Chain A
Amino acid sequence: MNVKVLFFAGLREALGTGSESLALPSDVGTVGALRNHLAARGAPWSALATTKNLRSAVNQQMVGPDAPIKAGDEVAFFPPVTGG
C-alpha cells in the first residue's frame, strides 16, 4: 500500500527531506512499524529511532505508535511541539 510520510522541524533537517511517498510492505501496518521500517534504512534515517519523544500523526490527527495505517494515509513524524 502507498502512503505519504511527512517530517517536520529538527527531524526534517536531520533527514534532509520533508516528505516522501512510499509503498509499504504488507507487514507494516501501524505508525510504530512505519517508524521502525524507515529507521532501519540506517543513517540519517536512524534519527527516527533516536529522536526523543517523537510525535506522530495520521491524517493530521495526533496518534500513538499503535495507530493503524491504511492506503492513502498521510503520516507525519515530528519532535514535541514548541509553539505559543
Chain B
Amino acid sequence: MSISVQEADFDAGAEIAALSAGRDDVGAVASFVGLVRADKAAAGVDAGATAAVRAMTLEHYPGMTEKALEAIVTEARERWDIYGVRVIHRVGKLLPGDRIVFVAVASAHRGEAFAACEFIMDYLKTRAPFWKKEETPQGGRWVDARESDDQSAGRWKA
C-alpha cells in the first residue's frame, strides 16, 4: 500500500529501504519528512520564551483524504517515470518534534525522484483535506492556510 493515513509514527529508514528492496533498477530514492514545529512567532510568543505550540491535532476527511492522495500520486506517475511512491500522513495529537508526514519516491535517476517528491508535497499541502489545530498557552487555534503554499503548488501547472 503506497498511501497511509495513520495515528502511528513511521520509520523513515525502513520505508526508504522498502522502495528499492528486491529490485536493481532503482538509482535514486528522494524523501521528505515533515516535523511538528514549536512555532513561537506564529503563536505571538517572543523567541526567548518556552515553546509556544504545546501540541497539534490533525483532523482529516476520512475517505476523501485517501482519494485525494491517490489522485496526487497518480498525477506524479503520469508526469515522471517513477518506480515507487510512499506517502504517510499522521493524524490525531502530535507534539513538537514529532514526525507528521513522509513522502518518498524511487526512480532511475535523481532528477525525477526529487521533482516528483516535491510535487507530491506541494499538492498534498493544497489538495489533501487535513487541518491542523495548535494548542498554545493562549488556547486552541486553527492554522491558517498560507498563500505561499498555493504558489508552490501553482508552479507545477502545465
Contacts and interface: CB of A to CB of B under 8 A. Distances in A.
Given A9-B59, A9-B131, A60-B67, A81 B142 contact: no
9 closest Cβ contacts across the A-B interface? A83-B130, A80-B145, A9-B131, A60-B64, A10-B142, A84-B125, A82-B143, A82-B132, A84-B124
Contact of A57 (B100, B129, B144, B149): B129
A43 B151 CA distance: 34
Interface of B: 34, 58-61, 63-64, 67-68, 89, 100-101, 121, 124-133, 142-145, 149
Interface residues of A, number: 17
- Best-surrounded residue of A62, A80, A82, A83 (most CB of chain B within 10 A): A83
A82 B127 CA distance: 9
A61 B128 CA distance: 10
Nearest to B69: A83
A8 B129 contact: yes
Contacts of B142: 9-10, 79, 82
